[in-house]
Amino acid sequence: MRSRSTILALGALLAASLPDAARAAGPLNVVTTTEDLASIAREVGGDKVKAESLSRGYQDPHFVEAKPSFVLKLNKADLLIAVGRELEIGWLPPLVTQSRNSRIQPGGDRYLDASLTARILEIPTGQITRAMGDVHPAGNPHYWLDPENGKRIAKAIEGKLAAISPGDASYFSQREEDFEKRVSDAEKRWVATMAPSRGTKVVTYHRSWPNFAERFGLDVIGYVEPKPGIPPSPSHTLELIQEMKRQNVKIIMVEPYFDSKTPNSIARETGAKVLVMPPSVGGEKEITDYIALFDYDIRLVVDAIKQAGAK
Amino acid sequence: MRSRDVRRVVLAVFVTFVSAPLWAQSTDPPAPPEQTPAEQTPPEQTPPSPPPSPEPPAAPPPTEVPPGAAGAGGPSGPLPTYGPASSKVFNPDIAVIGDFLGAIGKNNSDRATPSLELHEAEASFQAIVDPYARADFFLTFSPDEVGVEEGFITFTSLPANFLVKVGKMRASFGKANQMHNHVLPWTDRPLVTQDLVGGEEGISDAGVSVSRLFPNEILFLEATAEVYRGESPELFRAPTRGDLTYVGRLRGYRDLTESTNLDFGGSFAQGHNDAGPSFKTRLWGADLAFRYRPLRRAIYRRLILRTEAVWSRKELEGGVVNAFGAYVSGEYQFARRWFGGVRLDRSDRADRPDRQDQGLSALLTYWPSEFSQVRGQYRYTKYANGIKANELLCQLLFSIGAHGAHTF
């Protein structure tokens, strides 16, 4: 009995002695849900931030496990940046609730939804139901695959970082401008490389690529998944094969976390080539940052189009 | 002596959570709200734009309903400041989960389940209360009763790594006791839960839960202390106000690699039992889970091995009765939609440790989508009174409404 009172008294003491942390001056602890956001945060924040992603680039960002070790990372976060558009709805909310970090709670001043200023595609209009599969009611969350959105994300992060440490505002602003410039220069190069193949018809596994396709002129005519989040079915696969033959589609883009069995058998039937396309930084070892992601993916697509000789 | 202690406990808990939000308020002045959800599609910039000069931010546009909401029956256009439509945006996330159970085979014990039943329909309502808290309600409708499975507020903005929940809750005793029926990896609850930890309802009561995170470099460590009214069906009774139930839990977790981890904990619970006014039951629990889920193949493969052991010490008219029970369970996902599993059960009856229930189950689960699940469980049980049962249990789970998060 007495020990219980003692424990509670100790608890109260702890509560009194550790108010929300005079967090030591040092780099800001930025936690992001994906490696793409971490990469952009590093570009903008330089050595004033320490950015870390919860998910890995070769992992399906819809299905991340809400591990308690992530609670520890969120507990120390000075800023949480999420992709938003319900991409993380299956795992982020309980982590945030358990984080004991009041500032990153919904509506808190240290939470940034990177999608708010981005160009979002496929926002459903009209009635939506789950008969359509696991649709995202707020639009397609794979918007970072357009470098223009990368710049918008950088701008939003700059605004947030500057609000958190106003003393470094000019540092962030200068780094953000430099990043935008490098992305713009690279984008000219990517668009030019892709120019001869504009309008190439492709099939993708999941609806991860609408922004990428729009920016670089690919025409997505179908998906290996019959509906978002629903694994391939034999009848849908047959229809897709026929459609691909009819339209002479020679490219199948597959995210690295999906099984390549069905795409491979479709490829055998149609003579198409399966591209394992990482949609995120870290999806392959050499994809170390946001610009390298497009370098890698564009090279993959262009080489495949050349090989297939198809348009 | 005892009631004074109780009062002290209640006072300490009360002070902690009453003072904390005020505190949070004073140390963290509410920041200006996040950018208003701007237009969904800002005007396209021409790709080779020169580095933009710091321009004054545009005036925030009025809050627009996301275009998708219009067709889904929501309001459209700019939201009115007053009027019935504006309250819709604050409606909680609502979901309903159906748990349909069927049973085939022979079971002559008093624990036999019906051939077909809508075992439970659970409605959940979840939303943010204010900048300091969120609330979660789970109402269950079973064939013969309607109840609040859980209904609590969680204070998320407390200092010093505290998290406080107040309301009716499933107590933090072990693992299975905290799980709702629809997240169990089986169609039933293990024998040890039924014999020693209060059956399907488990330790579930009105009370206050205070937990604290102890951040460190080595492992995730969380300590939880809970006080309940003292009424958990089949387990605890509170003839007087002072007969509270106390629950404590220490949980550790550590990533072994990026794909494997270890989750472990120890629990304690104490309350008055139904044998008489001064008889107590004490429970100690230990749990361990090993998980393997390769990140690259996360949607196709996973392995979870878990075990939970409970020691019960129940005071009865004739003396103290010690009982022990445990289960060991394994689940393996072998395809995107398929899981196989096994469970071994063993438990003494809380009043009669010389009588022991034993069970063995094999399970197969199929996921048509994230929102429905079909499960078959072959169960062999040898009950304490000598009755043997061979059954095939079938379960259909289906959920509509808001997309819930997956518990770990």
Residues B263-291 pLDDT 10s: 999 999 999 998 887 899 999 999 999 99
Q: How confident is the model at residue B405 (pLDDT cuts 50, 70, 90)?
A: confident
- Please tell me if residue A13 touches chain B, with a CB cutoff of 8 Å: no
Are B32 and A60 in contact (CB < 8 Å)? Answer: no
State how far residue B278 is from chain A, nearest Cα, in angstroms: 16
Name which of B51-60, B131-140, B211-220, B334-343 the model is least confident about.
Answer: B51-60
Q: In angstroms, rounded to a whole number, what is the distance separating the alpha carbons of residues A106 and A94?
A: 12
Residues A22-41 pLDDT 10s: 445 689 999 999 999 999 99
- A227 against B21, higher pLDDT: A227
- Please tell me if residue A109 touches chain B, with a CB cutoff of 8 Å: yes
Give the burial class of A304: count Cβ atoms within 10 A of its Cβ; 0-12 exposed, 13-18 middle, 19 or more buried: buried
Above pLDDT 70, what percent of chain B?
79
| 3-class DSSP assignment, residue A117 | helix
The pLDDT score that the predictor gives to residue A8 is 53
The pLDDT score that the predictor gives to residue A15 is 47
Residues B209-249 pLDDT 10s: 999 999 999 999 999 999 999 999 889 999 899 899 999 99
In the predicted model, is pLDDT for residue A11 greater than 90?
Answer: no
- A108 against B155, higher pLDDT: B155
In the predicted model, is pLDDT for residue B84 greater than 70?
Answer: no
In the predicted model, is pLDDT for residue A140 greater than 80?
Answer: yes
Mean pLDDT of B172-186: 95
CA torsion, points B323, B175, B289, B310, in degrees to nearest 10?
-10
The pLDDT score that the predictor gives to residue B89 is 81
Q: How confident is the model at residue A52 (pLDDT cuts 50, 70, 90)?
A: very high
Are B28 and A103 in contact (CB < 8 Å)? Answer: yes
What single-letter DSSP state applies at residue B317? T
Give all strands of the β-sheet with A200-204 in edge-to-edge order.
A218-223, A200-204, A251-254, A273-276
- Please tell me if residue A166 touches chain B, with a CB cutoff of 8 Å: no
| 3-class DSSP assignment, residue B8 | helix
Contact A141, A9 (CB under 8 A): no
The pLDDT score that the predictor gives to residue B82 is 53
* Nearest CB partner across the interface for B295, out of A58, A111, A138: A58
The pLDDT score that the predictor gives to residue B90 is 87
ipTM of the prediction: 0.88
Query: Which chain A residues contact residue B406 at CB under 8 A?
Result: 65-66, 90-91
The pLDDT score that the predictor gives to residue B234 is 87
Residues B304-325 pLDDT 10s: 999 999 999 999 988 999 999 9
State how far residue B194 is from chain A, nearest Cα, in angstroms: 28
Are B405 and A60 in contact (CB < 8 Å)? Answer: no
Is the Cα dihedral A9, A12, A16, A18 positive or negative?
A: positive
Q: Which two tokens stand for residue A102?
A: 């009041």
Q: How confident is the model at residue B23 (pLDDT cuts 50, 70, 90)?
A: very low
Are A89 and B403 in contact (CB < 8 Å)? Answer: yes
Q: What would the DSSP string read from start to end of B21-73?
A: HHHHHHHSPPPPPP-----SSPPPPPTTPPPPP-PPPPPPPPPBPPHHHHHTT
Work out the mean pLDDT of chain A and round it to a whole number.
91
Query: Which chain B residues contact residue A86 at CB under 8 A?
Result: 403
Are B295 and A56 in contact (CB < 8 Å)? Answer: yes
Q: How confident is the model at residue B69 (pLDDT cuts 50, 70, 90)?
A: very low
Residues B131-156 pLDDT 10s: 999 999 999 998 888 999 999 999 99
Work out the mean pLDDT of chain B and round it to a whole number.
84
In the predicted model, is pLDDT for residue B25 greater than 50?
Answer: no
Mean pLDDT of B246-257: 98
The pLDDT score that the predictor gives to residue B48 is 42
- Closest B-chain CA to A55: B295
Mean pLDDT of A252-276: 96
- Please tell me if residue A105 touches chain B, with a CB cutoff of 8 Å: yes
In the predicted model, is pLDDT for residue A102 greater than 60?
Answer: yes
Portion 186-215 of A in contact with B at CB < 8 A = 187-188, 191
